[in-house]
Structure formats: structure tokens, C-alpha cells
Structure 1
Amino acid sequence: MAGPGSGGMEDVAGGKSRFDEVYGGPDPRAYFRRLAPLEYEIPHHAQPVFRQAATERAALGDARTRRPAVLDLCCSYGINAALLNHDVTLAEMYERYTSPAGRTMSTEELAASDKEFYAARRRPDALPVFGLDVSAAAVRYALKVGLLDAAFTDDLEQGPPGPDLRRALAEVGLVTLTGGGSYITARMFTELLDGVRGPVWISAFMLRTVSYRPIARALAAYGLNTTVDVSRTYPQRLFTDEREQRYAIAAVRALGGDPAGHEENGRFYSLHYESRPGTHPMTNRPQR
């Protein structure tokens, strides 16, 4: 459930490469070194979208809290939390973690530097961010440097949330997702929504190779209706090889999409899905 995949590079699920090896390290340097050549960029495109959604959700308020927390799914090292709550760009994070100076630090030195770096760039409108990821090493680092306010490693594809996560869900007002969408199912959302106590919005970026319809159906059972603008696509990353590209093109076509100008040009693309109470049912559906 971490970022753009979860598994070794030679382990390909349905034709899509997986990246488990970059989530087990004690800090995010291997993550950024591996993904930099692939131009992994979806957190950059999500940054203004999530900020807007978080602002709108926080403005609602409710009986529980005036500052509802954000829960980032497949959060890895807290990249979305960094971009949401700090005056920093994804490009700056790539530079920070792949630079010669960054490579020479120990993990403890990097963590101390990161804690100071992000604290100095903390936005005044920062919201509590909780992270959910099966990589204990990744979320431990994000907690250590102050990017996450709480972190959980519950595998909701296998069972319900534990008591700690269930208590935290009472504070959540927005759920975000940029990576891992190929490896999670509607079950995760069902387990989450069973534990929430107030209005929860979902803001998710999902690859065009994956149908969001089962998740949208699950969310509808909790009163959340999903919208998507299929005319707006977001580049995610370059393909690792021709095999992955062939898989993506075939998967997009199987879902009724057109890979011309997108996957045929050499990279994955995502769509953005918003699920909120009282909006119109999912429109402009890209999948059959």
C-alpha cells in the first residue's frame, strides 16, 4: 500500500511494475532515487487539489472538531503530508533526497535535518495528517520528522482497523490517495467508512488502467457520490519498460479509454475522483 506500488521490481502484478524495495528503508532517499528517473510526479499534481479540498472540508466544521484531520492512504514517507502542510515542492524534495549532501548523511542526521527543514516551512493553515501504510519503516520516519501526526500500519485489505486507527477515524474529515490505487480495493474504503463518525470526503487519483467503479459503488453505500472529469488527466510516471507499457495500453482500452496521446506516449496517467455527500452521482464515466 505504499506509493506507486508494492513489490520488487521483478514482481509485476498484472503487468504493472512494483516497487517494494524503496519502502523498506529507514528514510526516503532510496524512494526518491528510484523514482526520479521515472519522473514520478502525481504528488505534485495532487498538491493544489488536496489543499483546496482540505480547505473546503475544514471550512465546514462539525460537532466533533473544527479542524478535521486528513488521512492519507498508502502514505509511504509522508510525501503528500509534506506537500499539503508545508511550503515545499516535489522538485525540491527530489533535490533534497538525491543530492550529494543528502547521500552522505546518516539516517539520524537526515531525520534531524528534515525535522528542522519542514518545521521552518510549516504553513499557518496546516491540518492534522494521519498516514496509513503497511510499511512500518516509512511511516516511522514520517512521524519522526513531524510530517504525520499519527501513523498506522493496519492492512485493511485483510481485516478491520485496529483500536488505535478506529479511534483516529473519528477525527478524519478528508481521505486522500495518490499511489497504491492499483493494489487496494473497495474493501479498504468500506473498513474505513465503517469507523468514521462524521462527514468524510474522498479525494483520489487513480490510474486510467484501473476501474474506480467498484470503489465508487462502495462509497455510494455510505452516502458519498463520486464525480470525475475524464477530460482532465494527470501524468503519473514513465513506464519502466515496454512490457509495462503494453499492459497499460491494453488495460486502458479494456476499460473503454483511448491510450492515444497518453499511455501510447510512454507514461501512466491518472484521473481525479472526488467523493462527497450530496454531489451528483459519478459522471463522465471512463470505464464500462
Structure 2
Amino acid sequence: MQVSGSGDANGGKARFDDVYDQPDPRAYFRRLAPLEYEIPQRAQAAFRRAAAERDGGTVLDLCCSYGINAALLNHDLTLAELYARYTGPEVADLTGAELAERDKAFYAARRRPDAAPVLGLDVAAHAVRYAREVGLLDDAFAENLEGDEPPSPRLRAAMAEVGLITLTGGGSYLTRRTFAALLPWSRRPLRVSAFVLRTVDYAPIAACLAEYGLRTVVDPSVTYPQRLFTDEREQRFAIETVRALGAEPTGRETEGRFHTVLYESVPASG
């Protein structure tokens, strides 16, 4: 279906700011493992398909954190293997530098022959630095485009080569401001593949993409679990917000998990 409507609601969702910008990803995986955070794995096949269909260029992963989407896109790995790696006893006592050295070899040994160049954008400077250091990202940008600051000259130059933008989870934190800041610098045919929580109205972003010639489609009957709720308060927020946006939470959010839908945007002339 085509995307329409307006508005936004995410104020009742728990935040995990303390683990999003650590020097390495161990705390992130330890915190999210009990919540069965799974959307990067759900997105893996869709992102690989979108990367294969892009008309050249690089991939830009928004809200990339430690490069998890890049890890799953470009390596013979599952999210379960990453959980096991970063929560296991064999890495618990390593320094950050020791873990980074091991991760370089770990990812290099699992690199797929069809790996796509990936850029990462996130406000978490430590996280993107780590992802860049271990080879998950070809380049990384610790910038916040939700404010008044424009993209840096380096990011503007990088956008000229982007053929695919990916997003998982960050729809709760990004608005059309980020896309409006990036898309004027696009020079290639562009696709956007975004897994967005059902508590978020994506229509303002879809409208922004339309201004740059992209048509957004979604099948709301197909949903993808993101994670367990942290508590009853968060579940109530999700159920109420999903209903307020015109969807039905029964069988999805009522069963204890956030759910996402996949929005895909492609050139309207394509």
C-alpha cells in the first residue's frame, strides 16, 4: 500500500542510551540479549536483496551503532552468533583493544564475496569508531542531523555515492529532518529500506522521500518482531499508540513484543 497520514509517537519507548555508545559492543549485547532483540536478523534477507538490486554505489546504514546491520549484510553470520560472541566468557576479560584485534580477524574470515561497501551514520561516536576500526564500516560519521547542523562536507561527499539507505529501529529517533539533510546530496539512483516500529508514523519521512522522486510502499499485514517489552508500561504505550495510528495490536503487541513493518522506497520512475 502507499504510505499516507501524518504524526509521530514514540515517547513511551524505553531507551538504552548507556549501552549505545560504549567503546565496544559487549554491554550492548548483554543488555539486549534478555529482551531477545532480533530485528537485525529479520532484516538481513531484505537488506541483502535490496543491496543486490541497488544500481551501484555504497550502502548507508542510519543509526548504525556498532555496525550490526553491516555485519549481517556482508558476512556469513547470524545475530545469534554475535550474541554468543559478545556475551561469552572468552571475551569477557579482554581489553577493548584486544577485542578489536580479534574482531578484525573474526569478520575478515567471514566476509562474503558479494560484500557491499557500507557507510555508517550515528550520533554514537564510540560505537561508529569501533565498527570502522574492525572493518564493518568503510567509513563512519558521528553526526546528528536532527538539529540545525547540516551534514559535514565529508558526509555530503559520501552521499554522492550512496545507492541504498538502510534502517532498523532508528525510526523511533529519526524524523524527516535527517532525510531532508541527506537527500539533496544524493547523485545516484537511490533506494531506502527501513524497518520501522508500528508505534511510529513513517508518513512524514515517506513524504520527504517523495519530494526527491522516491515512491514508498509497505504491506502492513506483514510484521517483523523487534524485541520483548521491558515492562507493562512500555507494552501499554505500544498497544495504545498502534491503535491510535489505526492498526490492530491483537496477536502482535498484545503478545509482548514490539513489531515493525518494512517500508521500501524506490525511484518513482523505475
TM-score (norm 1): 0.89
| Structure 2 Cα separation of the partners of residues 179 and 102 of structure 1 | 27
Alpha-carbon distance in 1 for matches of 2:11, 2:160 = 36
Percent identical among aligned pairs is 67
User: Any conservation in 2 of the 1:185–1:215 contact (CA below 8 Å)?
Assistant: yes
Could you tell me how far 1:183 is from its partner in structure 2?
Answer: 1.1
Choose which of 164, 176, 179 in structure 2 pairs with 1:174.
164
**CA–CA distance in 2 between the matches of 1:253 and 1:110?**
44
Residue of 48, 52, 56 corresponding to 1:51:
48
Q: Which residue of 1 aligns with 2:60?
A: 71
2:43 is equivalent to residue 81 of structure 1: no
Which of 61, 85, 102 is the matching residue for 1:113? 102
The whole-number CA distance in structure 2 between the counterparts of 1:142 and 1:24 is 11
| 1:217-256 superposed matches below 5 A | 217-256=207-246
Number of residue pairs aligned between Structure 1 and Structure 2? 260
Cα distance in structure 1, aligned partners of 2:70 and 2:126: 16
Q: Which residue of 2 aligns with 1:64?
A: none
Tell me the SS of whatever aligns to 1:214: helix
Is the aligned partner of 1:38 residue 2:38?
no
Summarize deviations over 1:33-83 as a string: whole Å, max 9, x none: 0000000000001001000000011xx3xxxxxx41000000000000000
Please, which of 54, 74, 95 is the counterpart of residue 84 of structure 2? 95
Structure-1 residue corresponding to 2:3: none
- Does the CA contact (< 8 Å) of 1:236 and 1:267 recur in 2? yes
- 2:127 aligns with 138
- What is aligned with 2:190? 200
38 and 196 in structure 1: CA distance in 2 versus 1, 3 angstrom threshold: same
Unaligned residue ranges in structure 2 (runs of 5+): 1-9
SS of residue paired to 2:116? coil
Measured after TM superposition, the shift of residue 279 of structure 1 is 6.8
- 1:82 corresponds to which letter in structure 2? A
CA contact (8 A) 1:227 1:273 kept: yes
In 2 relative to 1, CA 167–56 (structure 1 residues): closer, same or farther, beyond 3 Å? Answer: same
Moved over 3 A (4+): none
RMSD over aligned Cα atoms: 1.1
Give the conservation status (yes or no) of the 8 Å contact 2:119–2:138: yes
Name the amino acid aligned to 2:117. Answer: P
Give the secondary structure class of the aligned counterpart of 1:181. helix
Structure 2 residue aligned with 1:260: 250
Could you give the per-residue CA deviations for residues 138-195 of structure 1, whole angstroms, max 9, x where no partner exists?
Answer: 0000011000000001211112201010010011000000022111101111111011
Is 2:4 the partner of 1:17?
Answer: no
- Counterpart secondary structure, 2:180: helix
Partner of 1:214: 204
Q: C-alpha offsets along residues 76-105 of structure 1, whole Å, 9 cap, x if unaligned?
A: 000000000000110000000000111121
Q: Which amino acid is 1:155 matched to?
A: N
**What is the CA deviation profile of residues 101-150 of structure 1, one whole-angstrom value per residue up to 9, with x for unaligned ones?**
11121111110110000000000111110000001000000011000000
The structure that is helix-richer by fraction is 2
Q: TM-score, normalised by structure 2?
A: 0.94
Greater RCO (CA < 8 Å, at least 6 residues apart) = 2
Letter of the structure 1 residue corresponding to residue 83 of structure 2: Y
Tell me the distance in 2 between the aligned counterparts of 1:180 and 1:276: 20
- Structure 1 CA distance for aligned equivalents of residues 85 and 109 of structure 2: 15
| Alpha-carbon distance in structure 2 between the residues aligned to 1:274 and 1:167 | 24
CA distance in 2, matches of 1:124, 1:193: 29
Partner of 1:5: none
Aligned partners of 2:22 and 2:126 also within 8 Å = yes
Give the unaligned 5+ runs of structure 1: 1-12, 61-66, 281-288
Please tell me the residue identity of whatever aligns with 1:150. D
Q: State the SS of the aligned residue for 2:185.
A: coil
Alpha-carbon distance change, 230 to 279 in structure 1, aligned in 2, over 3 angstroms: farther
